[in-house]
Structure 1
Amino acid sequence: MRASGMGIICDMVAIRNCVQADGHLSWSRLMGTTTRRKFTEPLDSVYALLGLASPEMREAIPIDYSASIDRLYVDVATAWVAIERNLNLLSCVQHLENSASELSLDDAQWQMVQAARMVQQSMRVLPSWVPDWSQPDKQRHRLLYRENTYHASLGKKAEVAFCKGRTSITASGVHVDSVAVVFDARYDTSKVKKSLQELEFVASAASSILIDDDAMRRKVLDDDFWRTLVGNRTESGESPAPDQWAVAFKVSKGEVPVPDHFQPEKEPVERFAKFVIPLRTQLNDAMEGRRFFVTRRGLFGIGPCHMRRGDAICVLFGADLPMILRQHDDHWRLLGESYVHRLASGEGVQLHLERQEDFPKEEFVIR
């Protein structure tokens, strides 16, 4: 069975358990565990899930097949924030490859592209903070986000204001870091050993420049590096990832053999496969559609494939993962979620509380 198939089974089990326990799921849980759902009618990307949602969400989103798909998605995003008081919907934003470069356009160019799209009806016309749930299955990847797995904002409720027309939101948070180095090449699931070796070379080179302390540099390369690439969790959402995966990571890179005590009765090829499968399954899911990066403070992360040097790493109150934002004059555009090791468990909020002069609370206008 393919790794993605195992992930879908885990998601189905999680959904069943929640419905049996509570009678419904939070919209955060639904979106986090149904990334690869399929549908023929775009409106059903929302309507098909309402039966599993909370009564408040069902009341806020009446089923109307004459509705505009764009307005429906904005309504869902708005209701999600208002009802659950979090910003985990931002994790569902996944910009398509052919729209990634447009995040760099100025406002006039952006409006021209959006107008052309409306005429062509080739893509949804949405603010950068509203997920496009109509994207084809093959162009979506699994979310890093899992409910109750990460705690970047330490449980702080979202502080959000919607502009008139809901084309933008103003969200409170902390600008904790910026992207310093982005690894250009994609992680190749068919060439795992080569990909990991190349990634480690980039991590080592960047760390030698950004981290002065030798002991800390060695620690981040030995532990932080592999934990970052798997989002420091298992496929089922358990965090942190098990310590024994450190050995599986070295085996995957060809540095050490499979331990002698592991299923010695099996053939070498089978022993190798069984030993590394749990790690590689999560590694493939976490790295799909993402790139490895290093921050200016020397932290490791994985984030949207179209991110670049200088993009902001922000902890928005109410979001369980750090978000990557790009500034445009008086506002920001959302690129997507990220996993940054040593920022996904509330460290950014702690920096704000302890060093407010260096990490002040800010208001981010996101369009």
Structure 2
Amino acid sequence: MSDIYSKAKSVIVWLGKEDESAKRALRFQHSLGPVLKRIQEEGKWQSLLHFSFDHIDFYRSVGIEPFHHVDWIAYVEFHKRTWFHRTWIVQEVALAQKLVVLCGGTKCDWESMTVVGEFMKDSRWANILLVRSGQNPGARVNPGERQLSISRLAQRFQSQGSHAEDARLHCVYVCDAGNVNERGAYLEWMLHVTRPSSASDPRDKVYGVLGLITSLFGYDRNFIHADYNKSAAEVCTSTTAFLLGNLPLASALSLVEDAENRNIQDLPSWVPDLTAQHRAMNRTGHGRYWDAGSTIRHSTPGKCQVDSNVLHLCGVKCDTVSLVSSPTDNLLQDLHGSELMGVMRKMAPTCCNGQSRSEATWRTLVGDCTETHYPAPSDVGTSFHHWLCNQAANAFVLGRRGRTDSAKFLALHDSLKDMAESEGLLAATEIDRRVAVLESTLVNDSAFFSQEYLRFDVRAKPFWDAASCFLRKRLFLTKSGFLGICPPSTQPGDSVWVLPNAKIPFMLRPLADTTDHKLVGEVYLHGCMNGEVGSVFSIEPIQDITIT
């Protein structure tokens, strides 16, 4: 199939039949796309990202008539179409010399659709639209994001000679690792990129991208080949074992999803269920998440071994989990600020690296990074300050409105205010100002706020944007007092380990009456960075690790 797509004069993509909703979505995208493209070329892209999608000033800035709510919902519905979420479309788009996109009998402007998807991603409007349309933002890829990722992948394929460096930069950070198995590196990266996609045959989550590797690097009889005599579990296990055995980093461990997201329940814990449409921590760009793949090297050649579905590694034990919070969705979205403050109270006032516990908290909630910076700049902390003010004001107003649970919200307001004031984060006048604006404009619990209040919300946006990358994770504290982000299934008693020279730990669960462990997943632990594990932790000697 890769030969057919790459040698064809043109490839026709058919998105399905055209209905009234699709017509509306296409008009929407073809109207907004060229405007956004022009603004992008003029360097004014960032100036639009602070607007709400129902903000009249956005339409004034771009010079178009406002869209109706039904147009936005049609856009969401359009990107639910099966084609956008299939594994096989990757090579269909990436290898095509010329791409023609049809919806029914209507030719679609692929470039306009892609630039709208890019804006939806950068502005975070896609998350809001999913909520407004009654969907869980974590349930699937945001509208437009899938098309954007495939378009960018196609651009890389069409840039002659760039694929090998791309594999290095985006997959294994091997600028200092010497020789690399490029096929393996690119396969691992492709498995990460295509993870949210689906396939009617689950084995095609691996086999559906092999043609791309062959088109780039040629045929290799020692590489992975499609074998439909294997079960899906066997394909996942053998593929992961190949990556761990042929790449200088253990980055395949970072593909492992939380146990609650697995479709194949009998997989070894160190093997990612590649059939699960899991969105792992993004390991691209500048290394925004210092995960299990960032700088881990096998301590000695051949030390990373697979024997009868058991993984043998060596590492050091740093700490043990003592407390796990509710999912960060609840901490940040559902006004459960009292629990966040409760976690902070259990921390030492000053962390090991000299930061206050409030700074350690906001840096942990955002993984100490933004889309473009690591560590996160201090203005994200200022944004966290505004977010807390908004939370305290919201809780106060809801508490005064005679609800049956008013006492809970008033107590929450007091908790937020007391803790935040003691940390030097909030001033009563700041909260009072927000309360006054909110009380004058709020009609009911789900009302749209006034433009004056939205300006408060805009100031909280940088923190929220960065923290939203870690929704559905949990905060955890270790016995030594370190704060981190962990997979949802983490439990007190789980142990935090690193491999030699690693910049970040991962979580293991000791099994009773045995030396074996289960891999829980990758974590972010604040204070363990820049490879200086020994200067921060009192760690045990290097030990052999057996992961079942």
TM over 0.5: yes
CA contact under 8 A between 1:94 and 1:131: conserved in structure 2? yes
Shift of 1:16: 5.3
How far does the alpha carbon of each residue in 1:310-348 deviate from its partner, in whole angstroms, 9 at most, with x for none? Answer: 211001248664110011112111011111011243232
CA distance in 1, matches of 2:359, 2:156: 33
Could you tell me the percent identity over the aligned residues? 21
State the shift of 1:283 in Å.
1.3
Task: Give 1:296 deviation, angstroms.
Answer: 1.6
Q: Of residues 139, 159, 163 in structure 2, which corresponds to 1:23? A: 163
Counterpart selection for 1:2 from 115, 126, 149: 126
The equivalent of 1:143 in structure 2 is 281
Residues in 2 aligned to 1:303 and 1:198: alpha-carbon distance in whole angstroms: 20
Within-5 A mapping of 1:101-120 = none
The equivalent of 1:281 in structure 2 is 465
Alpha-carbon shift at residue 359 of structure 1 (Å): 2.9
Q: Shift in Å at residue 282 of structure 1? A: 2.9
The equivalent position to 1:47 in structure 2, one of 207, 227, 231, is 207
Distance in 2 (alpha carbons) for counterparts of 1:60 and 1:274:
50
User: Once the 2 structures are TM-superposed, how far is the Cα of residue 276 of structure 1 from its aligned partner?
Assistant: 3.1
Q: Secondary structure at the match of 1:253?
A: helix
Q: Does the alignment pair 1:296 with 2:492? A: no
> Of 471, 474, 488, which residue of structure 2 is paired with 1:305?
488
Mapped contact 1:36–1:142 kept (Cα < 8 A): no
Aligned equivalent of 1:223: 359
| Alpha carbons 1:88, 1:320 under 8 Å: kept | no
Deviations 1:123-157 (A, max 9, x none): 3421110000112x3xx344264463355677341
Q: Determine whether 1:80 maps to 2:215.
A: no
**Residues 1:233 and 2:376 are matched in the alignment:** no
Q: C-alpha distance in 2, partners of 1:200/1:303?
A: 15
What amino acid does structure 2 have at the position aligned with 1:42? P
Q: Report if aligned partners of 1:245, 1:279 keep a CA contact under 8 Å in 2.
A: yes
User: Out of 257, 260, 268, which is 1:127 matched to?
Assistant: 268
Q: Does 1:70 align with 2:242?
A: no
Residue 375 of structure 2 aligns to a residue whose secondary structure is: coil
Q: Show the counterpart of 2:338.
A: 198
Q: CA deviation at 1:301?
A: 0.3
C-alpha distance in 1 between matches for 2:155 and 2:534: 32
Q: Which moved more, 1:314-323 or 1:124-133?
A: 314-323
Does the CA-based 8 Å contact 2:258-2:488 persist in structure 1? no
**Farther off after superposition, 74-83 or 319-328:** 319-328
Question: Aligned-pair distance for 1:267?
Answer: 2.5
Name the SS for the 1:219 alignment partner.
coil
Q: Are the aligned partners of 2:516 and 2:545 in contact in 1 as well (CA < 8 Å)?
A: yes
Change (3 A) 1:291 1:57: farther
Amino acid at match of 1:267: Q
**CA distance in 1 between partners of 2:289 and 2:219 (Å):** 23
2:297 aligns with one of 138, 150, 157: 157
Task: Answer yes or no: is the 8 Å Cα contact 2:350–2:356 preserved in 1.
Answer: no
Would you say how many aligned residue pairs link Structure 1 and Structure 2?
323
Bigger shift: residues 314-323 or 40-49: 314-323
- Distance change >3 Å, CA 244–CA 29, structure 1 → 2: farther
Contact 1:173 1:314 in 2 (8 A): yes
Match of 1:181?
A: 323
Query: CA 1:169–1:2 in structure 2 vs 1: closer, same or farther (change >3 Å)?
Result: same
Secondary structure of the structure 1 residue equivalent to 2:355:
helix
Deviation track 1:149-208 (CA, whole Å, cap 9, x = no partner) reads: 35567734124332433x11111111111112111x22336962723x23432332211x
Going from structure 1 to structure 2, the CA distance change for 1:318 and 1:43 (only over 3 Å counts) comes to farther
Q: How far apart are 1:30 and its partner, in Å?
A: 3.0
Q: SS of the counterpart of 1:342? A: coil
Q: Which residue in 2 is equivalent to 1:315?
A: 498
Q: Which amino acid aligns with 1:200?
A: L
> Could you tell me how far apart the structure 1 residues matched to 2:145 and 2:359 are?
25
Is structure 2 residue 451 aligned with structure 1 residue 267? yes
Task: State the match for 1:119 in structure 2.
Answer: none
Instruction: State how far apart, in whole Å, the 2-side matches of 1:123 and 1:2 are.
Output: 30
Distance (Å, rounded) in 1 between the aligned partners of 2:275 and 2:146? 19
> Counterpart of 2:258?
95
In 1, distance between residues paired with 2:225 and 2:505?
32
Per the TM alignment, residue 216 of structure 1 is displaced from its structure 2 partner at its CA by 6.1
Partner of 1:116: none
In 1, the alpha carbon distance for the partners of 2:273 and 2:542 equals 29
Quickly say closer, same or farther: Cα 1:174–1:133, change in 2 above 3 A: same
The answer on whether the counterparts of 2:291 and 2:503 sit within 8 Å (CA) in structure 1 is yes
CA deviation digits over 1:54-103, x for unaligned, max 9?
7499752102333321111111111111222211211221233287xxxx
5 Å-filtered alignment, 1:342-353, equals 342-348=527-533
Cα distance in 2, alignment partners of residues 316 and 286 from structure 1: 23
Of 359, 366, 378, which aligns to 1:243? 378
The structure with higher relative contact order (CA 8 Å, sep 6+) is 1
Give distance in 1, aligned partners of 2:240 and 2:247.
11
Structure 2 spans left out of the alignment, 5+ residues: 1-124, 128-140, 168-185, 390-425, 432-449
State which drifts further: 23-32 or 197-206.
Answer: 23-32
Is the contact between residue 182 and residue 293 of structure 1 (CA under 8 Å) also seen in structure 2?
Answer: yes
**Equivalent residues of 2:485, 2:525 under 8 A apart:** yes
SS at match of 1:60: coil
SS at match of 1:226: helix
Contact 2:290 2:524 in 1 (8 A): no
Give the RMSD, CA atoms, in angstroms: 3.5
Question: TM-score normalised to the size of structure 1?
Answer: 0.75
Partner of 1:37: 197
- Give the letter for the 1:61 counterpart: I
Question: Judging changes above 3 Å, is the alpha-carbon distance between structure 1 residues 238 and 71 closer, same or farther for their aligned structure 2 residues?
Answer: farther
Q: Please tell me whether Structure 1 or Structure 2 has the larger radius of gyration of its CA atoms.
A: 2
